[in-house]
Amino acid sequence: MEKKGVRKGSARLRPRARIVRTIGRDLISNEIVALVELIKNAYDADAKKVRIVFEDPLQPSQGGILIEDDGVGMTLATIQRAWFEPATVSKTKDIRSAAGRRVTGEKGIGRFAAARIAQAMEMESLAIGRRKMVRVRFDWGRFDDESLYLDQVRCRWEESPASKGRGHGTTLHLTRMNDAWDAESFLCLRGELSRLISPHRGTNDFEIEMVLPDRFKDYAGVITPPPVLGKPHYRFAGDVDAKGSVNATYEGPDTHEAISISDDIRLKGRAPESGPFHFEFRVWDRDNLDPLADELGSTVRKLRDDLNSACGISIYRDDFRVLLADNDWLRLDIRRVQNPTMRLSNNQVVGAVFISADGNPGLRDQTNREGIVSSSAFDDFKQVLVSVLSKLEVKRDTYRRGRYVQKPATGLFDVLDIAPLRDYVEKRYPTDVELKAFLGEKTKAFEHGIAEVQQVLARYRRLATLGQIIDVVLHEGRTPVAAISNEAMLMKRDIDRARDKTIDSQPLQTRISTITQQAEVLSMLFKRLAPFSGRKRGRPAEIAIEGVISDACLLFGKRISELGVNVHQPDSQTIVTVDQGEMQQIFVNLLDNSLYWLEKVPQNARRIVIEVSQQPRELVILFSDSGPGIPEDVRDRVFDPYFSTKPDGVGLGLTIAGETAAEYDGALELVSGGPLSGTTFRVTLRKRIGGHQDA
């Protein structure tokens, strides 16, 4: 029995007619994306050719676009089920066309794309094997009437016998365009269409032709990739399986035949979530295009324009391109800013990555069809691609720099010694008192200047190591800060609750104890970071080198624990007179490198061994890990500035560590036959060893 005064019922959602135009404008960002959506429909209909005719005047509310395909066509029932049902599920049920193509349009947004391009559309379609032509008119302008509901707008259709000789397929005639089209629009459209069907796999069963007014004839014709795409300086192609194993081949100016490359990519010690895929990267040295221009009978400017139009890494799902709002979605240009010597910029790469809807279910399109939904699978996908690309960058950089013999590391300031010049002049002019005084004054000024430069350089070295340190702070600082914040909040709650009662001190004591402990954790973290501060260097102090090593290991303690790395540290006490911050830089860089590469091996095999031995006039530290080791072909490159085999490595860590060791009349060397099977570095220090400074 209903209560008095209460009414109940139900109602239907009844959208206004303008929802079609609203969704078209908001869901599809521009006319080029909309046109691509309509071409996808032709592809799904097994068309072998699509013809796009632009009709003057190409101005808003004027002109038109004719899209003709020779696909299977549609019956009246199909049109009513597909075009008259927004967000139809027909393609989600039948995921493959009659010819076996994996359908690309699964969201049923074709009519929104048409409404985005023009104010009206006439559709003609003749289904294969039928002789009844279906004509439908969509007046998108009527959907702007704010007084009408969606179900009140009628779209008229007509079915009649097809004319003799009329082939099967569908024609869309869009009239009264919403946007103006100019040369820039056609250049952009041609670039998009040239990559719509993968040019790398030789797909030749789908052709797109553009018919344009005479003034735009340079952009007309059958869409084909520019010839320069077939002439890359470097080519890297292969497969990544579901476990992250890479099998690829490299070709470049330094090879006569393809070189096989195999590797296993691990992300924090695990396989990527993104699934298997095939890839091909083609790369050009844009500062060396003159020979290609001569070979192709073109100009360097034309080749650069073609590369600009085609550049970037495209994703192809079942051989059909996924549109991406950001062409540099892997942020290659940012990587190049951080390491301009080695990294590739986006305009040097024309790449293709082939995924499938079945094999990569975690990589799903955004509703606006301009990207892939952000997810852990997509994050892994990007990391794996950058890792793969970095292998090509190593090969290219090796070729460009050329092989050379590694020179022994020396201190930056060893050659800046004015003493020999002073001694020579004093011997040559022993009686010239004024000259001797002048030389003494200038020697002091020179040595003071060198000391100032050393202090500035020390600060920059600290900054160069700052990236690893910030990661440590963020990683290890969050837990104690969260604990302190949480306990303080609970303590305030306990006090508020007991405001009118006797306070039980035991819970408060426990919370205060927790806050104190966590504050001590932060204090120790800050203490370990102190050597990296920007403060001015003081005089070198007597410290135990094993303590410096221990502090570096504590700095990475959480990461070491998470990775399950067994670290063996020396238990000796070797006193040296050094700058603690400079020594920390050496071991932080060595530890950071080792921990990164140890992620690539099974957890039970992750080990680091550090050994210290003191000789009469030198100190030797061996730093060894059980990682995958450094490939033979790049062992002589690891100390080169800006060279790194890490996908996002800047390539300065080992360079800085080596220069720091050299400032102590020592060296940082990559050696063979260390305690463990992976990589072993030897740090040698000779100045200020054993609590005194050697001459």
325 Cβ neighbours under 8 A, 6+ residues apart: 29, 370, 371
pLDDT in tens, 146-160: 888 888 888 899 999
Q: Mapping DSSP to helix (H, G, I), strand (E, B) and coil, where does residue 577 land?
A: strand
Q: Is residue 118 in some structural domain? A: yes
* pLDDT score, position 518: 64
CATH of the domain at 181: 3.30.565.10
pLDDT in tens, 4-24: 778 888 888 888 888 877 776
For residue 139, the cross-strand partners are 120
Buried b (16+ CB within 10 A) or exposed e, 43-82: bbbbbebbbbbbbeebeeeebbbbbbbbbbbbbbebbeeb
Compute how many other C-beta atoms are within 10 angstroms of the C-beta atom of residue 676: 19
Whether the per-residue pLDDT at 693 is higher than 70: the answer is no
CATH of the domain at 275: 3.30.230
Residue 327 backbone dihedrals phi, psi, to 5 degrees:
-65, -35
Report the predicted TM-score, pTM, of the whole model to 2 decimal places: 0.68
Residues 185, 286, single domain; the answer is no
Continuous H helices in 49-123: 76-82, 90-93, 110-117
Residues 377, 268, single domain; the answer is yes
* pLDDT score, position 224: 84
Q: Comparing 402-411, 565-574, 643-652, 656-665, which segment has the lowest mean pLDDT?
A: 402-411
- Share above pLDDT 90 across residues of the chain, in percent, rounded to a whole number: 36
Whether the per-residue pLDDT at 462 is higher than 60: the answer is no
pLDDT in tens, 17-68: 888 777 766 677 788 888 988 998 898 899 999 999 999 999 999 999 999 9
Asked if residue 293 lies in contact with residue 301, where contact means CB atoms within 8 angstroms, the answer is no
Q: Is residue 515 in some structural domain? A: no
Asked if residue 688 lies in contact with residue 577, where contact means CB atoms within 8 angstroms, the answer is yes
* pLDDT score, position 657: 83
**Domain range holding 561?**
539-695
Residues 216, 231, single domain; the answer is no
pLDDT in tens, 161-196: 999 889 999 999 999 999 999 999 998 898 888 888
* pLDDT score, position 535: 46
Q: Which residue has the higher pLDDT, 267 or 295?
A: 295
Report the alpha-carbon distance of residue 254 to residue 285 in Å, rounded. Answer: 14
Q: Mapping DSSP to helix (H, G, I), strand (E, B) and coil, where does residue 62 land?
A: coil
Domain termination site, one of 165, 194, 222: 222
* pLDDT score, position 517: 67
Report the alpha-carbon distance of residue 472 to residue 525 in Å, rounded. Answer: 9
Report the alpha-carbon distance of residue 97 to residue 73 in Å, rounded. Answer: 12
Please state the domain count of the chain: 3
Residues 249, 166, single domain; the answer is no
Contacts made by residues 426-433, CB under 8 angstroms, sequence distance 24+: none
Please, what is the average pLDDT of the chain?
82
Q: Is residue 32 in some structural domain? A: yes
Average pLDDT on 261-270 reads 83
Residues 241, 323, single domain; the answer is yes
pLDDT in tens, 196-227: 866 555 556 889 999 999 999 989 999 888 88
Residues 207, 263, single domain; the answer is no
Whether the per-residue pLDDT at 432 is higher than 60: the answer is yes
The band of 389, judged by pLDDT with boundaries at 50, 70 and 90, is very high
Residues 316, 384, single domain; the answer is yes
Which tokens is 42 given?
A: 């032709």
Q: Is residue 480 in some structural domain? A: no
Angle at 381 between CA 375 and CA 387, to 5 degrees: 140
Highest-confidence segment of 13-22, 620-629, 681-690: 620-629
Q: Mapping DSSP to helix (H, G, I), strand (E, B) and coil, where does residue 544 land?
A: strand
Highest-confidence segment of 378-382, 472-476, 539-543: 378-382
* pLDDT score, position 523: 62
Residues 231, 98, single domain; the answer is no
Whether the per-residue pLDDT at 412 is higher than 70: the answer is no
The band of 694, judged by pLDDT with boundaries at 50, 70 and 90, is very low
Cis peptide preceding 199, ω within 30 of 0:
no
Q: Is residue 411 in some structural domain? A: no
Whether the per-residue pLDDT at 562 is higher than 70: the answer is yes
pLDDT in tens, 68-92: 999 999 999 988 887 887 766 555 5
Asked if residue 121 lies in contact with residue 64, where contact means CB atoms within 8 angstroms, the answer is no
Q: Which residue has the higher pLDDT, 369 or 405?
A: 369
Amino acid at 456: V
Domain termination site, one of 361, 378, 401: 401
* pLDDT score, position 459: 52
The band of 692, judged by pLDDT with boundaries at 50, 70 and 90, is very low
Alpha carbon 330 to its chain centroid, in Å, reads 3
Report the alpha-carbon distance of residue 671 to residue 590 in Å, rounded. Answer: 14
* pLDDT score, position 660: 82
* pLDDT score, position 212: 96
pLDDT in tens, 299-352: 999 999 889 888 999 999 887 788 787 889 999 998 888 788 889 999 999 999
Residues 589, 672, single domain; the answer is yes
* DSSP codes of every residue in 375-390: -HHHHHHHHHHHHHHH
* pLDDT score, position 408: 46
Q: Is residue 375 in some structural domain? A: yes
Residues 561, 665, single domain; the answer is yes
For residue 260, the cross-strand partners are 249
Residues 265, 300, single domain; the answer is yes
Q: Is residue 608 in some structural domain? A: yes
Report the alpha-carbon distance of residue 624 to residue 675 in Å, rounded. Answer: 6
* pLDDT score, position 406: 43
Which tokens is 376 given?
A: 């852990």
179 Cβ neighbours under 8 A, 6+ residues apart: 30, 31, 60, 117, 185
Residues 591, 620, single domain; the answer is yes
Q: Is residue 501 in some structural domain? A: no
The band of 396, judged by pLDDT with boundaries at 50, 70 and 90, is very high
Domain termination site, one of 401, 434, 460: 401
* DSSP codes of every residue in 173-222: EEEEESS---HHHHHHHHHHHHTTB-TTTT--S-EEEEE--GGGGGG-EE
pLDDT in tens, 598-609: 988 888 999 999
The band of 405, judged by pLDDT with boundaries at 50, 70 and 90, is very low
* pLDDT score, position 480: 63
Q: Mapping DSSP to helix (H, G, I), strand (E, B) and coil, where does residue 670 land?
A: strand
Burial class of residue 236 in the structure, from the number of CB atoms within 10 Å of its CB (0-12 exposed, 13-18 middle, 19+ buried): buried
